[in-house]
Amino acid sequence: MSIMHSSSALPAQRKTVCSYPRILWLIRVLFQGGFRLAGWTFATQPPAERKYVMVVAPHTSNWDFFLMVGLGAALGRQARFMVKDSVFVGPLGSLMRWLGGISVDRRSQNNVVQQMTDTFAGTDDMVLIIAPEGTRKAVPRWKGGFYHIAAGAQVPVVPVFLDYGRKQVGFGEPCLPSGDLDADMPVIQQCYADVTACHPEGDSSHPAKLSLSAADVGN
């Protein structure tokens, strides 16, 4: 089975691992089996919505990426994640697209937000997975692109925490952006109040630290 795709297709139209039920079923079984064997559990269940922006935090380790991709497959939804365009070269680029990656030029905030808004509009089933810190290092604020993408696409933000202390993944309540950051952020950030990161010194997700930068998209 080839994993090469036409670059002219819209991201929502390209076939990914989530487009093949048998492969997706196998990945879900492997992920859920490994998840349980490692002692992890789900603290809460995923929402019923078919389209939303999944905001996963705290992001302090490379392991977070594998958890996010596996989690996306385990949802049984068309999971997508954004990756800087320099990664999409040769076989690695084809693999990233097959896993659900969308190539973005993060130097242009407005273009990325519009690209993701158009991608949501072109499908009735999509979960966009974003780590809003944009890096594994501690940052003074989250990148605000996830909020603007959700607002533009008129889909909810679903906060998801990775708690390495309790070995739990949990889903917060969906929050449809109202356009009022001051009102919406306390609802979103509440999900991360008592969470332990893989590397706590790099955690930027606790409510006392959490604010948004509108200038960046995240990853």
At 21 the pLDDT is: 81
Nearest-angstrom CA–CA distance, 35 and 74 = 11
Nearest-angstrom CA–CA distance, 53 and 31 = 21
**Statement: the pTM of the whole predicted model exceeds 0.85:** no
pLDDT by residue (tens digit) across 41-99?
999 988 989 999 999 888 777 777 777 777 777 777 788 888 777 878 888 888 888 88
**Apex 22 CA angle, 20 and 27, nearest 5:** 90
How large is the average pLDDT for residues 151-161? 95
pLDDT by residue (tens digit) across 114-136?
889 999 998 999 999 988 876 55
DSSP string, 169-197: EEE---B---S-HHHHHHHHHGGGTT---
pLDDT by residue (tens digit) across 183-215?
898 889 888 888 887 877 655 565 445 555 544
At 26 the pLDDT is: 86
- Tokens 């497959």 belong to which residue? 73
Contact present, 55 and 160 (Cβ < 8 Å): yes
